[in-house]
Amino acid sequence: MTAKEIVAELKSLGNDGYKKVIMTHGVKEPVYGVKIEYMKEIQKRVKRDYQLALDLFDTGIYDAMYLAGLVADDAKMTKKDLQRWVDNAKSPAIAQFTVPWVAAESPHGWELGLKWIESKKEDIAVAGWATLASLVAIKDDAELDLDELKRLLDRVARSIHEQPNCVRYVMNSFVIAVGSYVKSLTAHALKSAAKIGTVSVKLPGSCKLPSAAEYIKKVQARGAIGKKRRTAKC
């Protein structure tokens, strides 16, 4: 299938009610309002297609950009591809989920994650922290730089309250991810969470920011610390 054919299909699957909901969460026009379950059906047909993913993302249509992340051949994504994606992530969901998922499963996730968290642009910094959070969830601990992750936890504890709204959100998620997926750093993540305390983040509707300490302790209680995810994407 071509990007043009898929965009036409996405347009036919759009739902005005769902569109209104996701727009309250920061999604920007153009957007059709296609539910994720319908995108997953297209994903099953397409599987992975490097060029198609690039073409879909370049349409600038939210639904097509989200689908691009699902069908991307992550191993083939270049640093240039990923940088272009993060520079053009118009909606928070694309910056927080789509780009980080693909970056984390590419060969360049660690390098780009560390680069992006230094950005003064909120969406790019968000993508950086979200990429690092995704990496710790899917990579064996032997593949991770544990000393650097400790330094990043300390950095979050020192600076989270000074960051822009969405960056605070993903920094909190990063602490949760390290504490939940990297067993040797769980104690350090809990110490960082204690130093952080309550994080104030403006969220749409009834959404609430989870307490990093409480979340990690719940993972501990069910004996799931260190259990990795098969994929960053969902």
**Same domain, yes or no, for 104 and 135?**
yes
* pLDDT tens across the length of the chain (234 residues): 899 999 999 999 999 999 999 999 999 999 999 999 999 999 999 999 999 999 999 999 999 999 999 999 999 999 999 999 999 998 999 999 999 999 999 999 999 999 999 999 999 999 999 999 999 999 999 999 999 999 999 999 999 999 999 999 999 999 999 999 999 999 999 999 999 999 999 988 778 899 999 999 999 999 999 999 999 998
In a domain, 149, yes or no: yes
Same domain, 113 and 201: yes
DSSP 35-101: -HHHHHHHHHHH---HHHHHHHHTT--HHHHHHHHHH--GGG--HHHHHHHHHT--SHHIIIIIHHH
Same domain for 131 and 201, yes or no, is yes
40 and 151 in a single domain? The answer is: no
The DSSP-derived string for 190-208 is: HHHHHHH-------STT--
Indicate whether 79 belongs to any domain.
Answer: no
CA dihedral 137, 138, 140, 145 (to 10 degrees): -60
Whether pTM exceeds 0.95: yes
The answer to whether residue 6 is domain-embedded is: yes
85 domain residue, yes or no: no
Residues 163 and 221 in one domain: yes
Range of the domain at 213: 93-234
Count of domains in the chain? 2
Q: Is the same domain home to 136 and 229?
A: yes
